[in-house]
Structure 1
């Protein structure tokens, strides 16, 4: 048995001391309040703990790394393990959901906003806008070439399309034109539709990535009236990209 282990055995709290932990925590708070160099006498007085008990608990806290002695050994300061706890507490944040992110964004826009996942190559809605008409996932999946979110999926998860159905006079029905469109989506990381799935409707969509790596697992789409926005709508595009960053790892 080492000298350190022997010292630890003689300073460990006993099972007959149910208030020992509370006293130890109050002493940590006292050192934080009094500042580095606080003496055992000051700590005991601050916590109203008998000096003999205070000395014993302080020795345990030093042995465990929650406190350290100042260089001249006249007092105590917070140790490494206390700092680690404080850092963990300050840096941890409650987990957010897709709904949390989109609800916050919806408070900042009058347009419809929804998120879709296509992690496994099949499209599903992760969150739909309760205040705006949502296009069903099955409708988009049936004619992805006519929808901003569908073109996003085709760009990042290519699959053959047997026929390019004309939904409106503006729907892309030429295979070469669609390939050019998907190349633009990949180059700009932005998908756009205008009067292609329905006359009077336009949409912008940006990719959402997995938590690790660069895999695109879904998209965030802003939908509104035709002519309301375009690929050059910088403010709206930046708004979507910021939301996509918050959604990273959530789809």
Structure 2
């Protein structure tokens, strides 16, 4: 009986970089899981951060192994039988905490609002809102990435995402100079967090850190929001968010 291993040295030709190949394959499976049936090869490659040529080879392998299937009109992909079998096996091992339950535990440890965003498909979308602290003008977050901490995380970590060329000024504190924004985003990537201080709304400040999947790809953001002067990028608050993000790994 032929081997059913996911990555075969003789037919994948990844120059001996099997660990990286496995990470990429898992990232592509997660792309289909997040983006849904019919996701195209181009969308999967962009989501997983995989070069298109590599993505096409690995998608063919994942289809051949039963982890993915092609949708009936052949325009995209969906999760396959073997992926469903793994999901059922994982569920049988016992209940895991849901995203909301895990975030609620974080909320119980701070007086500030905590929200969770997904970056699936290069779109910023709030997937778990703090029930006690509604986000004012939530639609502005995705429209003006340069002016809020979640958007800055997205811009800093997702190469395919670009800010609006207009860099609209929402308040007197909004960063509207392209060069200044580039420097700011580099600092976000180096420091591992983003700070927002009255840049999208007067009186509001926030911090955000990236959320990752099991293959370490950035797939969302953890957003802490409060009043200006109270939310500061100090070690304690940033550390609290970073620790919380680690607890949420693989849940978004």
Please give the TM-score of this superposition, normalised by the length of structure 1.
Answer: 0.60
The 8 Å contact of residues 206 and 221 in structure 1, kept in 2 or not, is answered as yes
> Larger Rg: 1 or 2?
1
How far apart in 1 are the matches of 2:164 and 2:204? 23
- What CA distance in whole angstroms lies between the structure 1 residues aligned with 2:157 and 2:167? 18
2:179 aligned with 1:190: no
| Kept in 1: contact 2:212–2:220 (CA 8 A) | yes
How far has the Cα of 1:248 moved from its partner? 0.5
Range with greater deviation from structure 2 (159-168 or 190-199): 159-168
**Matching of residue 177 in structure 1 with residue 183 in structure 2:** no
How many residues end up aligned between the 2 structures?
Answer: 158
Q: Distance in 2 between matches of 1:116 and 1:137?
A: 11
Give the gaps of 5 or more residues in structure 2: 1-92
The structural deviation recorded for 1:211 is: 1.2
Instruction: Identify which of 157, 161, 165 aligns with 1:162.
Output: 165
Inter-partner Cα distance in structure 1 for 2:199 and 2:193: 16
DSSP 3-state at the match of 1:120: helix
Is 1:230 the counterpart of 2:232 in the alignment? yes
Shift of 1:93: 5.5
Unmatched segments (≥5 aa) in structure 1: 1-91
Q: Deviations over 1:145-191 (max 9, x none)?
A: 11000111111123252210000000000000000010001001100
Could you state the TM-score of these two structures normalised by the residue count of structure 2?
0.60
Q: Residue 198 of structure 1: SS of its match in structure 2?
A: coil
Q: Secondary structure at the match of 1:206?
A: strand
2:145–2:163 CA contact under 8 A, matched in 1:
no
Give structure 1 regions of 4+ aligned residues with deviation exceeding 4 angstroms. Answer: none
8 A contact 2:98–2:251 mirrored in 1 = yes
Aligned to 1:117: 118
Give how far 1:139 is off.
1.6
Q: 1:141 Cα deviation (Å)?
A: 1.0
**C-alpha RMSD over aligned residues:** 1.4
Cα distance, 1:135 vs. partner?
Answer: 4.3
Task: Note closer, same or farther for the CA distance 1:199–1:137 as it changes in structure 2 (3 Å cut).
Answer: closer
User: SS of the residue aligned with 1:176?
Assistant: helix
